[in-house]
Structure 1
């Protein structure tokens, strides 16, 4: 399997696996305070990842550790940390809705980094269509934005979206001499240590209540959300256009809604099915737009030579 096919497989994994993590986070933070919950998750996942990879991959060069640390702190430290914080105050549905703005931020920051825009009619149409689809799924949650008690949660999720997007663009354009999976493992350790230290400083140790639900949710996030999910994400952005990879944020809520229907008997009606179709159509448009942009670049390069 070539790198491009592996990249698509990694992207599909992110689309599916991360859609299941909202529920696990919501359960976990009810028993373990946010920074320690996130920190323990990433430290354990990082140790497992590094231990498994060191036999087949080299540790990153010293000169690249600074850049890897920046990626880890942005995407996992602030990005994931603020999601965990936000889900203490708002529903997982509203969190998922806000996180669907990731593609807009990533495409915008990517254009700023390149000092030019690769947007075309397909990408713009796809992003807008996807947002309409997600809005249809979580339409009732919009009114939560006007409740004062949700303000901290909403601001936390928006901060997470921005940090994640900046980290993704930084990761895409800052080339390092390390295997993407080993880079992901080191990022987990950096973020986990920072979050755990912050949790201790905030006095979260006295609030920890380990029980079966908390431990199960933590274990699930370590294995699937961290090792499989984040490893796949890092690999995907190494080999695929960011505008395409970022569309995982449209698919994750579909998974969340399906799980709610399957596990918690939440409603699944015709409007949600239509919304799912709109989201998938949006993803296909962004994919077409990304491919069109690449073809134009290649044509321009050939003409210039």
Structure 2
């Protein structure tokens, strides 16, 4: 297979499927393993592996002034956000978790509108935010009583703070212009997140409850080798050969994959409201992305 484009499209297809299945693996893992050590061991191992391989290949370590910003991004995106996703899946179905996470572009847009005092908003962004809000209402509104009275509330709160942390980390990284290679940045972010999550897990006494079962070990190894190592390598290759805007569409496909395999393998409930909400939220994300592109074009035109 010598066609780079074909390889890139295969890499893109891989991340669409693989990253959609990680929610299932997390759900299986937290059935037996405590969340913070489960997440921490995954990212520590993945970060160490990437760091060793990259150094052997001659990749430079970040400059001192760039190390702290990279670590901050790692703490927010992987340490807090991804860690809280693992925590949330103790109570939430994997498909619902994936669907709630698709609201990240909407939260990022709200944060940027606050910091820019609404300078970059347009009709598409407003309609997208409204659609996303309606989608969340469809998910939560119909079963609000069950959520408030049951354990779901803990999962929803965890996802809310996780999505907020990811959005803040994304906005922070956007405005920090770094020269470090993306792979090296990713390795340090993984390692930073893993060390913090592992430390938190030990502080919470999770080690006493950490025992691998065949199912949880399989979930851990899948997340480590397929979700982290293979998935991120495929993503970096895809964006090096294909337009980033095209590769970014994996975010529209991941939740659909997660909903389907959660229903198929874990018998998770797939209601009409949930399916409708998925389409409404994804449509809202599409509108927001389109609005952001138009806002960027307008800024470029005004500056020339």
Class of the TM-score when normalised by the shorter of the 2 chains: 0.7 to 0.9
Paired position in structure 2 for 1:183: 185
- CA displacement at 1:279 relative to structure 2: 5.0
Paired position in structure 1 for 2:47: 46
Paired position in structure 2 for 1:79: 81
Q: TM-score, normalised by structure 2?
A: 0.80
Secondary structure of the structure 2 residue equivalent to 1:146: helix
Matches within 5 A, 1:99-178: 99-130=101-132, 132=134, 141-178=143-180
**Counterpart-to-counterpart distance in 2, 1:240 and 1:193:** 30
Contact 2:102 2:282 in 1 (8 A): no
Deviations 1:231-256 (A, max 9, x none): 749x97xx968xx95992x5433221
**Counterpart-to-counterpart distance in 2, 1:40 and 1:11:** 27
Secondary structure of the structure 1 residue equivalent to 2:151: helix
Greater mean alpha carbon deviation, residues 192-201 or residues 108-117: 108-117
Greater mean alpha carbon deviation, residues 204-213 or residues 100-109: 100-109
Q: TM-score, normalised by structure 1?
A: 0.80
Q: What number of residue pairs does the alignment pair up?
A: 291
Gaps of 5+ in 1: 1-6
Task: State which of 75, 96, 99 in structure 1 corresponds to 2:98.
Answer: 96
Greater mean alpha carbon deviation, residues 186-195 or residues 128-137: 128-137
Gaps of 5+ in 2: 1-7
Paired position in structure 2 for 1:3: none
Paired position in structure 2 for 1:296: 298
Q: 1:297 to 1:247 in 2, by over 3 A?
A: farther
Q: 1:195 to 1:53 in 2, by over 3 A?
A: same
- CA displacement at 1:32 relative to structure 2: 1.6
- CA displacement at 1:22 relative to structure 2: 1.5
**Counterpart-to-counterpart distance in 2, 1:118 and 1:8:** 33
Q: 1:73 to 1:153 in 2, by over 3 A?
A: same
Task: State which of 221, 224, 227 in structure 2 corresponds to 1:225.
Answer: 227
Contact 1:64 1:176 in 2 (8 A): yes
